[in-house]
């Protein structure tokens, strides 16, 4: 019932009929298996209701090697694949062609403490191999930007950068937890969100192809400057300097003296200032008053009816 309420609210907000809602993807849900080798009924029930209305379902087994999956990476991925495909096959029985996404969330545990670990070499390999498996089955796949750090420090950054490397090289179609994740997903951080957005934009820029036109090869500029000049003032540079390189919104490339004289703010401190400014400047998107009233009426009615059952 809860997912039915959610779909109805999205339908109302979209201003479409029931038939129009079912025609294309308007929302998605994500379910995790209860590894090893089990899917919980409430999640399956909700997923089947979504599939029945042609709404996408992401099936992401939470297979931590050494705990809920075999300690070997190949074994953990074999189990992940079985758990994902079993649910996806069920949803195809409910509605053939129902949109589904192969979710990947295989990592490992710290064998000294049992704590989940993310952004590890094993995690990167799991993302890359999951992408290959998903393409073999003709399915889009979901990766994650994950880390196990407790604060947005250097560890959080290198673990997230490694996670994003696996997601990017594995060619994920969607990235869950793309920004802000900390403490293995137990907490979120505004500062980490900003830092992750910087990394995400850099990955997007990195994946753009390198131009190889005559203008890109710049042979005329090389000939113009010759062996004794520089390229700062040549026409080729002047025409392109504003857009030639990725321009970060968080990095500080000034020299030490200038940086120190301007407050010596770290990346985390700059991210703190930026997120607060963004929140202050945020303007909620407009909503048609009639749609807002219909949504509020629906919520009031469902509250009177007692809402959906939550005690499973």
Mean pLDDT computed over 145-163: 97
Q: Which residues pair with 64 in a beta bridge?
A: 107
> Which residue's structure tokens are 């979120």?
188
Would you say 188 and 182 are in contact if contact means Cβ atoms under 8 Å apart? yes
Would you say 130 and 77 are in contact if contact means Cβ atoms under 8 Å apart? yes
pTM of the model: 0.92
> Which residue's structure tokens are 């059952």?
309
How many residues make up the chain in this entry?
312
Residue 14 in domain: yes
Number of domains in the chain: 1
Report the percent of the chain where pLDDT is more than 70: 99
Residue 247 in domain: no
Grade residue 307 by pLDDT with cuts at 50, 70 and 90.
confident
Token couple for 8: 């109805």
Picking from 147, 152, 119, 182, the residue whose alpha carbon sits closest to that of residue 270 is 152
CA distance linking residue 88 with residue 251, whole number of Å:
42
Q: How far is CA 53 from CA 46, 167, 214, 310, in A?
A: 11, 29, 51, 22
Residue 46 in domain: yes
CA distance linking residue 163 with residue 149, whole number of Å:
13
Would you say 150 and 109 are in contact if contact means Cβ atoms under 8 Å apart? no
Look at residue 255 and give its three-state secondary structure: coil
Cα Rg, the chain, nearest whole Å: 24
Residue 89 in domain: yes
Residue 252 in domain: no
Mean pLDDT computed over 259-267: 98
Work out the mean pLDDT of the chain and round it to a whole number: 96
For the four alpha carbons of 74, 79, 82 and 85, in that order, the dihedral sign comes to negative
203-210 CB contacts, 8 Å cutoff, 24+ apart: 203/164, 203/168, 205/246, 206/168, 207/168
Residue 72 in domain: yes
pLDDT higher than threshold 80 for residue 310: no
Give the per-residue pLDDT at 312.
53
Domain containing residue 164 = 2-208+286-304
Tell me the per-residue pLDDT of 231-241, one tens digit each, with 9 for 90 and over: 999 999 999 99
pLDDT higher than threshold 70 for residue 311: no
Tell me the per-residue pLDDT of 193-246, one tens digit each, with 9 for 90 and over: 999 999 999 999 999 999 999 999 999 999 999 999 999 999 999 999 999 999
Look at residue 124 and give its three-state secondary structure: helix
114: which DSSP letter? -
pLDDT higher than threshold 60 for residue 83: yes
Give the per-residue pLDDT at 6.
97
Tell me the per-residue pLDDT of 7-63, one tens digit each, with 9 for 90 and over: 999 999 999 999 999 999 999 999 999 999 999 999 999 999 999 999 999 999 999
Residue 260 in domain: no
Q: What are phi and psi for residue 116, nearest 5 degrees?
A: -60, 145
Give the per-residue pLDDT at 308.
79
Give the per-residue pLDDT at 303.
93
Beta strand segments in 85-145, E: 100-103, 107-109, 116-117, 141-144
Give the per-residue pLDDT at 77.
98
CATH number at residue 66: 3.20.20.480
Residue 44 in domain: yes
Mean pLDDT computed over 260-278: 98
CA distance linking residue 241 with residue 208, whole number of Å:
18
């Amino acid at each position: 019932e809860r997912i039915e309420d959610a779909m109805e609210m999205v339908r109302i907000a979209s201003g479409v009929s029931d038939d129009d809602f079912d025609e294309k993807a308007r929302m998605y849900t994500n379910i995790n298996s209860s590894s090893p080798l089990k899917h919980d009924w409430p999640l399956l029930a909700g997923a089947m209701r979504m599939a029945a209305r042609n709404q996408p379902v992401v099936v992401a087994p939470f297979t931590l090697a050494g705990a809920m999956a075999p300690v070997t990476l190949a074994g953990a991925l074999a189990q992940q694949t079985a758990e994902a495909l079993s649910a996806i096959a069920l949803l195809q029985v409910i509605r053939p062609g129902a949109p589904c996404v192969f979710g990947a969330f295989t990592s490992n545990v710290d064998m000294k403490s049992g704590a989940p670990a993310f952004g590890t070499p094993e995690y990167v390999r799991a993302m890359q191999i999951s992408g290959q498996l998903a393409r073999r089955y003709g399915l889009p796949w979901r990766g994650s930007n994950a880390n196990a750090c407790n604060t947005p420090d250097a560890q959080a950054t290198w673990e997230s950068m490694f996670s994003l490397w696996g997601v990017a090289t594995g060619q994920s179609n969607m990235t869950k937890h793309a920004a802000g994740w900390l403490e293995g997903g137990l907490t979120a951080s505004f500062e980490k969100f900003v830092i992750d957005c910087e990394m995400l934009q850099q990955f997007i820029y990195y994946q753009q192809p390198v131009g190889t036109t005559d203008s890109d090869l710049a042979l005329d500029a090389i000939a113009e400057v010759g062996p004794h000049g520089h390229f700062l003032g040549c026409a080729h540079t002047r025409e392109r300097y504003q857009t030639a390189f990725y321009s970060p919104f968080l990095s500080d490339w000034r020299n030490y003296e200038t940086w120190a004289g301007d407050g010596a703010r770290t990346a985390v401190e700059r991210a703190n200032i930026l997120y607060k400014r963004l929140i202050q400047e945020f303007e909620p998107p407009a909503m048609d008053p009639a749609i807002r009233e219909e949504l509020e009426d629906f919520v009031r009615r469902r509250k009177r009816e007692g809402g959906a059952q939550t005690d499973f």
